[in-house]
Amino acid sequence: MRKIIAIALTAAACGASLAFTAGEAAAADHGPQCVMVRKNFTKGEYRYLRLTNLCGQRTSCYIIVIPHAKDPHGRLLKGQTKDVRYGTTQGPKALFVKNTSCSTESH
């Protein structure tokens, strides 16, 4: 009986260790969540997002996710706020803004 309990505890500890390692890898895959949407608005026939970089120490990169369209991307300097035009009023609205790592993004 003790052997079974020992094996079960060992398996649980190994599983927790693997889950922790996978979580660390997922967290290391992208940078901090610095870019925030302040406002979603239209001006004339174009759609805009007002984006702010909340990280005062680093440049942040983003991708605007739009269904069935090419996703516009860019970067914001430290503490910068910027109005980004991403489409027309006839096209789909942006679903969300995804923070990305600037090192892997090609501009």
Which pLDDT score is estimated for 8? 67
Alpha carbons 93 and 67: distance in angstroms, whole number: 8
Which pLDDT score is estimated for 22? 43
The answer to whether the CB of 79 falls within 8 A of the CB of 43 is no
Q: 0.85 cut: is pTM over it?
A: no
Which pLDDT score is estimated for 103? 73
CA atoms within 13 A on the CB side of 74: 17
Q: How many Å from the N-terminal Cα to the C-terminal Cα in the chain?
A: 61
